[in-house]
Amino acid sequence: MEEEGRRLLEEGIRKKVISPGKGDLSTFPNGTKVVFHYRTSLCDGTVLDDSRAMGGRSKPMELIMGKKFKLAVWERIVITMRQGEVAEFTCDTKHTALYPLVSQSLRNISVGKDPLEGQRHCCGIAQIHSHHSLGHKDLDHLQANPQPLVFAIEMLEVLPPGSFQLDMWAMTDKEKLDSVPLIHEEGNSLFKQGKIKEASEKYYNAIACLKNLQMKEHPGDESWVQLDQMITPLLLNYCQCLLLQSQYYEVIEHCSSLIFKYEDNLKAYYKRGKAHAAVWNEEEARADFAKVLELDPSLEASVNKEVKAMEEKLRSKQAEEKGRYKGLFDFKAMPATATTG
C-alpha cells in the first residue's frame, strides 16, 4: 500500500482513503469493467460534477480497462482500489487537461444528448487550444485555466472480462454497426409493451452509436448519408417517446433538425405539429399540419382530429384565463372612495 502511494505521488497523484474496500485487489487485466461513482471538485471544494446527481439521476460511471479512455488518469487511479473502497485523488494539472471535454460528454449523456454534441471534429488537444465554448461556463473557465482536480471515487463493482455485455462506447466500429438493428428491435418491443422510458433509452443508444460512427465520415459523403438515413427512423421513434413523456421542446428541436435536412419528412412535420400544439404554438402547429396534408392528403382525418383537439384546448385555456382575471379591471364594481379638499 505504501509503495503504491509513493508511486502515485511520483506521478503527481495524492490518494486519501476514506473507507477501505473488501477482498483482494484485482489485477485489472484489459477488458475488465469497473463501475464507480465519482465527484469532481476544484481544490477549493467547488464541485464540478457528481455522478449521483448529474441529469437529475444517479448513474455510475463505467470504464473498460485497456480501451484508452480519454481521461487516462481515471484508469490509473481505479486500479489502486478494492471493491467497496471510497477514496479521494488529488491529481496534478498534467492529468486533468482533458477533463473539460470529458465532462461535457458526460453531461450530454446525462440529459440524453449526443456525447459528442458541441465538440469540434478534431483531437482533444486541438480543442483545448481553441476558443470554442463547451456550452458550460465552469468548463470554459477550467479549459482556459487548467488546474489540479480532486476526484472522489466510490468503487462499486469490478467485473472480469467476458462476464458482461459490452456497452456501446466500448465496441469496435463493426460491433456498433452490427448491434444497431438489434437495439432498434429491442426499443420497438419495449414501446409495444408500454415501457416508453426504457424504449427511448434504447433508441437513444442506437442513435448515439451511429452518431459516433458518423463523426468519422465527411458530411455529405455516401457513408455519412447512409448513416444519417439509419439515424432518421430511430430519431423519429425517439421523438414519439418524448411526446408521450411531455418533452415537447426537445421534440420540436429534433424534428426541426430532421426537416432542415429532409424537407419532405412527413412524420417529422406531424410530430413537430403535435409538440407545437401541446405548448400553445398555434400558428406553428397549423403550419406543420398544413404541410402534412400537402405531403399526404389521405391524412386529412387524422390532421383534423389533432387541429380540433388543439382548438378545444385553446378555448379552455382562454376561458380559464378570462375567469381568472374577471373583475380585476372592472372599475364600476370598485367601491367609491371619499376625497377631501
Structural domain tally of the chain?
2
Grid cell, residue 158, equals 469490478
Please state, rounded to an integer, the average pLDDT across all residues of the chain.
88
- Are both 147 and 7 inside the same structural domain? yes
147 shares its domain with 25 = yes
Percent share of the chain, pLDDT over 70: 87
Beta strands in 214-315 (DSSP E): none
251 close to 242: Cβ distance less than 8 angstroms? yes
Q: Is the pLDDT of residue 333 over 80?
A: no
Asked if residue 108 belongs to a domain, the reply is yes
Lowest mean pLDDT among 14-28, 65-79, 190-204, 316-330: 316-330
For residue 52, give the nearest of 140, 153, 125, 145 by alpha carbon. Answer: 153
Residue type, 258: L
Measured CA to CA, the distance from residue 245 to residue 199 in angstroms comes to: 12
Burial grade of 72 (CB within 10 A; 0-12, 13-18, 19 or more): exposed
Same domain, 64 and 108: yes
E-only strand ranges, the chain: 13-19, 33-42, 47-50, 61-64, 86-91, 149-159
CB 107 within 8 A of CB 136: yes
Helix or strand holding residue 110 (H, E):
helix 99-110
5, 154: one domain: yes
- Among 126, 159, 192, residue at a domain's last position: 159
For residue range 203-220, list pLDDT tens digits in order. Answer: 998 998 899 899 889 988
At 125, is the pLDDT very low, low, confident or very high (cuts 50, 70, 90)?
very low
pTM score above 0.85: no
Q: Please compute the mean of the pLDDT values over residues 4-28 and round it to a whole number.
A: 94
299 and 209 within one domain: yes
Kindly state whether residue 1 falls inside one of the protein's structural domains. yes
Is the pLDDT at 229 greater than 90? The verdict is: yes
CA gap 131, 120 in Å, rounded: 11
User: Could you report the per-residue pLDDT of 160-172, keeping only the tens digit for each?
Assistant: 987 877 766 667 8
Would 325 be classed as within a structural domain? Answer: no
Please count the residues of the chain.
341
**b/e burial code for range 308-339 (CB count within 10 A of at least 16 → b):** eebeeeeeeeeeeeeeeeeeeeeeeeeeeeee
CB distance 203 to 238 below 8 Å: yes
- Predicted confidence (pLDDT) per residue in 266-315, tens digit: 999 999 999 999 999 999 999 999 999 999 999 999 999 999 999 999 98
- Find the domain containing 24 and state its range: 1-115+135-159
Of the two residues 335 and 251, the one the predictor is more confident about is 251
Query: Is there a single domain that holds both residue 230 and residue 90?
Result: no
